[in-house]
Amino acid sequence: MDHTIDLFSVIDRLKQLVVEIGKLQKESLGRANLAFDVKSTAIDIVTEIDKKSEEKIIAFVKEYYPSHAILAEESGRSEAQSDYLWIIDPLDGTTNYAQGLPIFSISISLEYRGQTILGMVYAPVLDELYYAVRGQGAFLNNRPIHVSNKTQLLDSVLATGFPYDVAEHPANNINYFTRLLPKTRAIRRFGSAAYDLASVACGRFDGYWELNLSPWDAAAGILLVEEAGGSVISFREDRKVSIIAGNNTIVGQVYDEIK
């Protein structure tokens, strides 16, 4: 059976939620006494604002969709058994955030029986609200968006990122970066995977690749790219979520360079 939820009413509620949380995030951006903890490695941090933001998103899901399951970066998976799963990154780009850099985002998606049906990425400082509904297209501030139509890597600007175990793990993306850099117009490392994918969806980046992402970094952004007419492929199985995104042609060319 198909899902029975009205996704556009979910989008309307989510818009209010992310704008409210974005306000809270902006208020503390650049604050000198921001509390933080270290997580998986010495360079993987979480701030008090990541945690506060996640609490608010979880409270939202519990209020409006109490039977749904939740997978959230800072608190893990809820015990609920449900066909619906909310996947939440309350603050994607924590390293930027802790430095007072304005590029970070909130990423929220909803799965039904393992398939993403809705994704939202909000960049508070830029006030850019991206969302996609499966089969209904992708939007930036309510206007339809589309991936770029570049056909050559040498004309393309790509984005990427590096995993928190970059110092410990041999598959740390440095080799792919070295291979691709001379083949492209430029490569950017913005520091928020969700925002990178949103930027591919609206054609500002022609392509993106990254390895060892988690579902909360990528789920909403992947739907944005697909609904914006692009494609997303997985390029290795051993490093969690490892993906290439862009239009079909550029995805193929990036894959040929790093396979």
Binding site for ligand IPD (CB under 6 A): 89, 92-95, 161-163, 191-193, 210, 213, 217
| CA separation for the pair 170, 211 (Å, rounded) | 12
Q: Of Ca ion, ligand IPD, none, which one does residue 191 interact with (CB within 5 to 8 Å by kind)?
A: ligand IPD
Torsion angles phi and psi, residue 34, rounded to 5: -65, 125
Please report how close the Cβ of residue 143 comes to ligand IPD at its closest, in angstroms: 25
| C-alpha atoms less than 13 angstroms from C-alpha of 244 in its C-beta half-sphere | 21
Tokens of 154: 């040498």
Q: Of Ca ion, ligand IPD, none, which one does residue 213 interact with (CB within 5 to 8 Å by kind)?
A: ligand IPD
| CA separation for the pair 255, 249 (Å, rounded) | 10
Between 160 and 229, CB nearer to ligand IPD: 160
Between 92 and 206, CB nearer to Ca ion: 92
Tokens of 215: 């579902």
Q: Of ligand IPD, Ca ion, none, which one does residue 93 interact with (CB within 5 to 8 Å by kind)?
A: ligand IPD
Residue from the set 45, 61, 85, 92 that interacts with Ca ion by CB under 5 A: 92
> How many helices (DSSP H) and strands (DSSP E) are in the chain?
7, 15
Q: What is the DSSP letter of 170?
A: S
Give the footprint of Ca ion on this chain (CB under 5 A).
Answer: 73, 89, 91-92, 217
